[in-house]
Structure 1
Amino acid sequence: MENWFELIHIQPFKDKRGSLKKMLMISQLREDEKIEEVYVLFSNQGSVRGNHYHKKTLEYFSVISGKAKVALKNLDTCAFEEIIMSASSDVILRVPPNVVHAFKNEEEEPFIMLAISSKEYNKMDTDTFPMEILE
């Protein structure tokens, strides 16, 4: 775990039918955190998503199919990190406010990512601020 983003390692339940991965439980949320939006990203080869940060929004991400290159930049310290997340990683990425985040699909197959957000997107009152850290 880093102090400016967090990789939450999960233990999937597995049996002969397959596996079950719990992405987020209320016990993982801090007292002042809430969830307002859940969505799924489908990203084709070569595509980049994100390249932005939020001033108020907390987000969780988990790759559920394929593989994603993830770039993260802490705006307070300028620390930068790149990681690879895949469906087999069994991790959930917690991205707090003021951390620029971007996702790139460098594979032939699309990646599918589950995203959970503490703030519902509102185009009239957006908390999304562009900043390119991944091409």
Structure 2
Amino acid sequence: MTKPSSKIPDVTDEERAGWPAHGVVKLEKPFVDVRGKIQPLVDEMMRSAVLIDSKAGSIRANHYHKTDWHYCYVISGQIEYFHRPTGSGKAPELMFINKDEMVFTPPMIDHGMRFPVDTIFLTLSRNPRDQATYEADVVRVEFMPTEGWVSWQPGDIQSRDEKAESVGD
């Protein structure tokens, strides 16, 4: 796991210029040969890669990041991805992110995820995902429909699986 960062670096204009448009990312064509394929995902400096397993009927996120961005690539299942500009007060937009699709979330975008089916996805992030750094950058918001879905709130009990350690989304 990454060591805690004492200060989260500010986002620069140069960094912003390299981001894809918010939303579903158009993936490059894979390299294919007799051995199989290699699918390019992200060619960018990042500090965290976490594999997240979400159960059907659960919710993640429902927050925004002050400086962090992330790509979420769906390995199996589906994400119902809600988003809107932070502070806009607008109703959130809904996108469906399916297997082999990826969504990009820049800083200052309220976002939430619902999982109608068991889902495994890879999250690639700018900032480290140690608990202290993550909590210093995330602001929780309530903006998407959650009734009838399983969620987690700060203060809820968490345990660490011996095989896995991740936080956040």
Task: After superposition, give the CA deviation of every residue in 1:2-59 in whole Å (9 maximum; x if it has no partner).
Answer: x972422112344565543211013xxxxxxx31111011000100011110111111
Mapped partners of 1:123, 1:35: distance in 2:
17
- The structure richer in helix per residue is 2
Structure 2 gap segments, 5+ residues each: 1-19, 147-169
> Which structure is larger by alpha-carbon Rg, 1 or 2?
2
For 2:40, the equivalent position in structure 1 comes to: 22
Return the letter of the residue paired with 1:9: K
Identity %: 23
TM-score normalised by length of structure 1: 0.77
Q: How far apart are 1:78 and its partner, in Å?
A: 4.4
Task: After superposition, give the CA deviation of every residue in 1:91-121 in whole Å (9 maximum; x if it has no partner).
Answer: 32111110011111112xx111110110113
CA RMSD of aligned residues (A): 2.2
**Inter-CA distance 48–18: structure 2 relative to 1 (3 Å threshold):** farther
For 1:123, the equivalent position in structure 2 comes to: 131
Q: Which moved more, 1:63-72 or 1:5-14?
A: 5-14
- The structure richer in strand per residue is 1
Structure 1 gap segments, 5+ residues each: 27-33
Structure 2 counterparts to residues 100-115 of structure 1, below 5 A:
100-107=110-117, 110-115=118-123
Mapped partners of 1:87, 1:19: distance in 2:
16
TM-score normalised by length of structure 2: 0.63
Task: State which of 45, 68, 78 in structure 1 corresponds to 2:56.
Answer: 45
Mapped partners of 1:14, 1:69: distance in 2:
30
Mapped partners of 1:20, 1:87: distance in 2:
16
Mapped partners of 2:43, 2:21: distance in 1:
21
Bigger relative contact order, structure 1 or 2 (CA pairs below 8 A, ≥6 apart): 1
Conserved? CA contact 2:21–2:104, under 8 Å: no
Q: Which moved more, 1:72-81 or 1:54-63?
A: 72-81
Return the letter of the residue paired with 2:26: H
Runs of 4+ more than 6 Å apart:
none
